[in-house]
Amino acid sequence: MRSAVAAQFEAQPPQAQSILIVDDDPAIVQLLGEMLKPFGEIRFALSGEQALAITTSFTPDLILLDINMPGVNGLDVCRRLKANPGLREVPIIFVTGQNDLTSEVAALEAGAVDFIAKPLATPIVVARVRTHLRLHQLTEALKHSARTDALTGLPNRRAFDEELAAEWRRASRRREPLSLLLFDIDHFKAFNDSHGHPAGDECLRIVGQAIAAFLKRPGDLAARYGGEEFAVILPATDCPDALRMANALVRTIADTAITLPNALEKRRVTISVGAATVELPAPGTAIAALVECADSALYRAKRNGRNRAEFQPFGRTVRNIDHDDPATDPRGNPIER
Ligand code: GH3
Ligand code: MG
Ligand code: MG
């Protein structure tokens, strides 16, 4: 049986793809260029150095690489590309006149996916290129679906964990604060019970879209944390800004109309938000502690009446900030208790 990912992939129209051809012989470059034109965008490099330079600003879907070139040879180009996390996944096919066993083994050991011997036969080149472009596309689709929540289209829990770890490292390098919001839909069991599970699913999709639209900075990341819980990572955001975002998010969701199929009336749901900030994330400190902080703030928000945000800094307890909240000073900053 075909997998869901394969079905999704096949349902999409074939996308134009990009191929980088690397060979010091311009005649070979031209010949391959003609053969592969129908696949999409073709770029050329006439040396290993040129190939390395081009790939600093261009990530092809496939590379055809000559082994024997003056200067940096094909095997070295391949090893360097495989050592680069941004280019590691690009499939490389060696195209070479050295069609002996030792060269083929060396090419595969350097990380190539395939090996085509010169003289070039068009049907062989086209068939192998088609196979590897297709495999690459499938792998990318699988990687994307492994990090995406199928219901909301938001990054899933696995992607959230990876992104939070990456943001933590970035924040500690740049000596910047890092904030996290965790939120949970209020009385969602009752929503499911009165409108049905499909309506609950629709509600989760709408809430997911509302958060995605709410976030404006490119570095901010919203994810489905699990069930009816979501998370928002806010890089370079200190405690007062995290609180402002948390309160704005509460209001945004409360104002979002949930339109259900076959229902005349629009519904509304509210959320409770727990916010936490680490002012200076140290490398090696427990990221889990930040999640626990946000989680305990979230449970406080539930206990204190729902449809609200609470904040918990690393190792301290601060109450909610809001305009009419006596726990904030005249500038809206939280007063510690
Ligand atoms: P609280 O305000 O304390 O959060 O109450 P609640 O009812 O939201 O909390 P509870 O944890 O009791 O219920 C969560 C509900 O979320 C129960 C579960 O069926 C529902 N839920 C979790 N994931 C999904 C989903 O993917 N789709 C739908 N429709 N419901 C879901
Ligand atoms: Mg809930
Ligand atoms: Mg819950």
Q: What is the pLDDT of residue 52?
A: 97
CATH number at residue 249: 3.30.70.270
- 103 within a domain of the structure (yes/no): yes
Q: What is the pLDDT of residue 315?
A: 56
Distance 96 CA to ligand 2 centre (A): 61
**Residue 38 DSSP SS3:** helix
CA 262 centroid distance within chain: 35
CATH number at residue 8: 3.40.50.2300
**Residue 92 DSSP SS3:** strand
- 328 within a domain of the structure (yes/no): no
Q: Which structure tokens are listed for 226?
A: 């699990």
Q: What is the pLDDT of residue 96?
A: 87
**Residue 179 DSSP SS3:** strand
Q: What is the pLDDT of residue 98?
A: 80
Residues 231 and 170 in one domain: yes
Residues 176 and 271 in one domain: yes
Count of the separate structural domains present in the chain: 2
Q: Which residues line ligand 1 (CB under 6 A)?
A: 151, 184-190, 192, 197, 200-201, 204, 227-228, 302, 306
Is 235 in contact with 220 (CB distance < 8 Å)? Answer: yes
Closest to 254 measured CA to CA, from 229, 240, 273, 237:
273
Distance 205 CA to ligand 1 centre (A): 14
Beta-carbon neighbours within 5 Å of ion ligand 3:
184
Residues 142 and 262 in one domain: no
pLDDT in tens, the chain (337 residues): 444 444 444 445 456 899 999 999 999 999 999 999 999 999 999 999 999 999 999 999 999 999 999 999 999 999 999 999 999 999 999 998 887 889 889 999 999 999 999 899 999 999 999 999 999 999 999 999 999 999 999 999 999 999 999 999 999 999 999 999 999 999 999 999 999 999 999 999 999 999 999 999 999 999 999 999 999 999 999 999 999 999 999 999 999 999 888 777 889 999 999 999 999 888 777 899 999 999 999 999 999 999 999 998 775 433 343 433 444 443 334 444 4
Is 229 in contact with 184 (CB distance < 8 Å)? Answer: yes
Closest to 153 measured CA to CA, from 44, 81, 86, 230:
230
- 331 within a domain of the structure (yes/no): no
- 334 within a domain of the structure (yes/no): no
Which of the ligands is closest to the CA of residue 187?
A: 1
Q: Which long-range contacts (CB under 8 A, 24 or more apart) does 212-220 make?
A: 212/154, 214/248, 214/249, 214/252, 219/167
- 337 within a domain of the structure (yes/no): no
Q: Which structure tokens are listed for 146?
A: 């492994």
Closest to 65 measured CA to CA, from 27, 119, 107:
107
- 329 within a domain of the structure (yes/no): no
Q: What is the pLDDT of residue 126?
A: 97
Residues 238 and 288 in one domain: yes
Query: Residue 215: which domain range?
Result: 157-321
Residues 100 and 247 in one domain: no
Residues 166 and 295 in one domain: yes
Q: What is the pLDDT of residue 286?
A: 84
Which among 104, 167, 202, 228 is annotated as catalytic? 228
Handedness of CA 265, 266, 267, 270 (dihedral sign): negative
| Interior angle at CA 155, CA 57 and CA 230, nearest 5 | 140
Q: Quote the CA–CA distance of 40 and 17 in Å, as a whole number.
A: 5
- 44 within a domain of the structure (yes/no): yes
Residues 175 and 128 in one domain: no
For residue 186, give the ligand 1 atom closest to its CA: 2
Q: What is the pLDDT of residue 324?
A: 39
Residues 83 and 180 in one domain: no
In sequence order, what are the beta bridge partners of 272? 184
Q: What is the pLDDT of residue 26?
A: 97
- 326 within a domain of the structure (yes/no): no
Q: What is the pLDDT of residue 14?
A: 54
Residues 202 and 261 in one domain: yes
